[in-house]
Amino acid sequence: MRNDLVGRPSKTRHVIPSKGGLPMYLVARGLYKFKHPKVFVPPCTKEDLEKLINIHRVFVQIELKLELVGYDIGPQGNI
């Protein structure tokens, strides 16, 4: 299955391997005029990622559009 950066939607969710990969992913989506993504992150990292995105906005002088959502999965248990 091809990923959405070549024009076809993927049935899998995209996983950004590092914080540094997120701005490059957003720039690529913007170049292809794709809808901005909703990115789920742990609440403890949301503020730092917002700062990182703002720094990249200054460097690349492009609006990096995204919806950054702090999502806490809560406690996990065994079944």
What kind and span of H or E run contains 40?
A: strand 38-41
Task: Show the tokens assigned to 11.
Answer: 């049935």
Q: Name the phi and psi angles at 42, rounded to 5.
A: -60, 140
pLDDT digits over 59-76, tens only? 878 788 889 898 887 777
Is the pLDDT confidence value at 35 over 90? Answer: no
Q: What's the whole-number mean pLDDT along residues 13-30?
A: 68
CA 11, CA 3: separation in Å to the nearest integer? Answer: 8
Which pTM was predicted? Answer: 0.59
